[in-house]
Structure 1
Amino acid sequence: MNYLAIDASTEACSVALQVNNKIYSCYELCPQSHSLQLLPMVDKLLKEANITLSQCDGLIFGRGPGSFTGVRIGVGVAQGLAFATDLPVFGVSSLQAMAQLAFIKAKETKVFATIDARMGEVYNGYFELDQYNIMQAHRLADQQDEAVTEPALVHQRLDEIVTTPVYGVGTGWDAYPRHLSSLKTNVGTPEILFPSAEAMLVIGIAALKRGEGVNAEDAQPVYVRDTVSWKKLPGKE
């Protein structure tokens, strides 16, 4: 079976394609040009694999959290491609994808993922490997799988569930080292900073095979932070 995955939720833009168990992938750091890169990447991989989009069995997309603009671009492209070919779609968390990448690359089975959410906050989630080798989110002290949290309060989310430091991935660690560095076992900048479509393939294929795919019109972003409050400039109240 053939599956396509796309992601534009962070500074990284990536596409991965599985055709008869062979993986084709593109990955590029291009913070300002996701809308220009995503479709050419898809076209390139389809040509490399010598198949058409209609020969795919499902489409997987990065649903966030991350850049609001990037998430919207990824979801929009996924919807357009799926509408054109009537493919089922499945959205994968960018935090979960980084945790899955930690298992793929380093065989880590307990991972805390963070993304710098700007405005003095981080998106974050804790993941553990299940019996099917998929990293699954665990609800923490605040009963949320994924949250946007002030760095100084992140340890409170972990305290009741995770009693020792775990492997860290994502951009939040370098953004707020004073508050976060003691929570991870790996020292310094994490090897894994961004999600990849290749890791999303693993999670999404398993979900699609379980029948969890939805129609294109039901593909939804997950921002975690649903509203943005802008501080008014002096004289602009």
Structure 2
Amino acid sequence: MSLILAMDASSSACSAALLRRQNGDDEIISRFELTPREHTRKLMPMIDEVLAEAGVKASELDAVCYGRGPGSFTGLRIAAGVAQGLAYGLGRPLIGVSTLQALALGGFLRHQYRYLFTALDARMNEVYAAAWHIRENRPVALMEEAVLPPERLKFPKGHDDHDWVGLGSGWSLWDAMPAEVQAGLGLCLTDVDPAAADMAVLAADAFDAGDIQCPHDVQPVYLRDQVAWKKAR
């Protein structure tokens, strides 16, 4: 059995989840709330709630996970700080999970979409984007995660004829996206955010595979360099 605590503050949503995996079956207890600018106040109570509901002490955890990005600069720092603090204090490994991959997994688990183009609003007229294909019930990347203007979005080479679904806040910049991308999307959902429950599943996979790291080795993924300087501009 493995117990994974996951948390995310990378978007307008704040979430925490406790996953118990036993004999290949996952039991997940989670909290999810849209709380813009309240992540600092909400995250720790959510963590306490999922642990209490599961009847699990923090000392029983096997690993800690957080949404490593891309996403909100401030939100990523909040989740990273809490996750690293817990992992250090408990002497447990820390697993960083892609927010874009978690978004894709959620689209598959809840709606069975198999070709997913995830995009999050990166502000400054850019989006964080990646494309995924579901294989063996998990999202496999068809392109590297990138930050770019919406007008530069394109389907992965050789995969433009699939029934694509767009997920995430980045698709709110629809009018700026290329006509071929608009024509190739069968469905577009902008009101979905990454969730700790989906991150916990990916983290449990990584833990089972031995793909774990020490807390100090896991860093947020911003994709954009010099974030603070660019915002000041």
Alignment correspondent of 2:97: 92
2:118 equivalent to 1:113: yes
Alignment of structure 1 residues 1-237 onto 2, 5 Å = 1-19=2-20, 21-131=26-136, 133-139=137-143, 145-155=144-154, 158=155, 160-164=157-161, 166-179=164-177, 181-187=182-188, 190=189, 193-228=192-227, 229-230=230-231, 232=233
Range that drifts further, 11-20 or 37-46 = 11-20
Cα distance in 1 for residues equivalent to 2:129 and 2:152:
11
Deviations 1:39-81 (A, max 9, x none): 1100111111111111011111100001000011111110001
Deviations 1:91-131 (A, max 9, x none): 11111111000110111111000001111111000011123
Change (3 A) 1:10 1:231: closer
Taking every aligned residue pair, what percent have the same amino acid on both sides? Answer: 38
Shift >4 Å, 4+ stretches: none
Structure 1 length-normalised TM: 0.88
Partner Cα separation in structure 2 for residue 126 and residue 93 of structure 1: 12
Distance in 1, Cα, partners of 2:183 & 2:47: 40
Other structure's SS at 1:119 match: coil
Q: Distance in 1 between matches of 2:215 and 2:176?
A: 42
Preserved contact between residue 101 and residue 192 of structure 1 (Cα < 8 Å):
no
For 1:205 and 1:167, locate their aligned partners in 2 and report how far apart those are by CA, in whole Å. Answer: 26
Cα distance in 1 for partners of 2:58, 2:85 equals: 12
TM-score, length basis structure 2: 0.90
> Aligned equivalents of 2:121 and 2:183: distance in 1?
17
Kindly tell me: are residues 46 and 160 of structure 1, through their superposed partners in 2, closer, same or farther at Cα, counting changes over 3 Å? Answer: same
Q: Provide the rounded CA distance (Å) in 2 between the counterparts of 1:227 and 1:79.
A: 23
Mind listing any 5+ residue stretches in structure 1 that lack a counterpart?
Answer: 140-144, 233-237
**CA offset digits 1:144-203 (Å, max 9, x no partner):** x10011111112xx252322351110001113334153342115xx06521001111111
Q: Residue 235 of structure 1 aligns with which residue?
A: none
Separation in structure 1 between the aligned mates of residue 47 and residue 82 of structure 2, nearest angstrom: 10
Question: Any stretches of 5+ residues in structure 2 without a counterpart?
Answer: none
RMSD value, Cα? 1.7
Q: Which moved more, 1:218-227 or 1:16-25?
A: 16-25
Q: Which moved more, 1:53-62 or 1:173-182?
A: 173-182
Once residues 231 and 183 of structure 1 are traced to their aligned partners in structure 2, the CA distance between those partners, rounded to angstroms, is 36
